[in-house]
Amino acid sequence: MARPSSFDREDALANARNLFWRKGFHATSLKDIEAALSLKPGSIYAAFGSKKELFSEALNYYARSVEGEFQSFMAQSGSPLSGLIDYVRSITQGGMNKMPSNACMVFKTALELANDDSDLKDLAAEKLAGMAKLFAGAFEQARIAGEIAPDVDPHRAALKLQTSITGLRGMIESGLPSGDVQNLIDDIIAEMERLRVAH
């Protein structure tokens, strides 16, 4: 079945990302996908193959968006450590326009599929590792620039920051009051500031 002439793959992926982000892989039905993408089943299969393939593309689309947003913060910041701090501060500002969930889609996928024997679980793990690598790269740049001490392990610092951000997003998702959310953000930033070398 031919796709509608108005079909826009980018829009379809954004809609699929939002749907899967909100509902997860298993709870999303074909009817849900039809409604979100405004496509008939034949058109969905022609464009994306299976539900699993669509989910994989949507997860990759999400990860690219997160990476692009992070790189934008780093490019606009005066220094690597300041860029990381600005990124943490941005967590309560929405980001990626009309987020369907405060929690990270990749981490939600990793939790949902933790007991599945699925390459989607492997994909989620790969994307989590990719984000940690981005953070580690920023910490390494901060070390090279003399912002943080030479003995700071970028990989370890990155995993700690990723864990803090993931936990923070989960707490926001659970309905934590905004004052407590801000306190947590302030604590994460204060811990990062303690890495800064005084000049």
CATH of the domain at 78: 1.10.357.10
- Look at residues 183, 180, 184 and name the one whose alpha carbon lies nearest to residue 166: 184
What local confidence, expressed as pLDDT, does residue 190 receive? 97
Whether 173 is covered by a domain: the verdict is yes
Whether 134 maps to a domain, the answer reads yes
Q: Could you tell me if residue 126 is inside a domain?
A: yes
Look at residue 14 and tell me if it is in a domain: no
The residue segments making up the domain with residue 121 are 60-193
Task: Give a yes or no: residue 188 inside a domain.
Answer: yes
pLDDT at position 1, please? 44
Please report whether residue 46 resides in a domain.
no
Give me the pLDDT at residue 167, please: 93
pLDDT (tens digit, 0 to 9) for every residue of the chain, 199 residues total?
445 546 789 999 999 999 999 999 999 999 999 999 999 989 998 999 999 999 999 999 999 999 999 999 899 999 999 999 999 998 877 554 456 777 899 999 999 999 988 899 999 999 999 999 999 999 999 999 999 999 999 999 999 999 999 999 999 989 999 999 999 999 999 999 999 997 6
Asked, for residue 133, whether it belongs to a domain, the answer is yes
67 domain-assigned: yes
pLDDT the model gives residue 4: 52
Looking at the DSSP assignment, which residues form a beta bridge with residue 196? 148
Identify the pLDDT of residue 180: 95
- Cα distances (Å, whole numbers) of residue 181 to 97, 145, 192: 20, 31, 17
* Closest-CA residue to 17 (of 48, 43, 46, 45): 48
Rounded to the nearest 10 degrees, the angle between the axes of helix 105-112 and helix 154-173 is: 80
Whole-number pLDDT of residue 98: 55
Number of domains the chain contains: 1
**According to DSSP H, which parts of 90-177 are helical?**
105-112, 119-144, 154-173
Q: What does pTM read for this prediction? A: 0.88
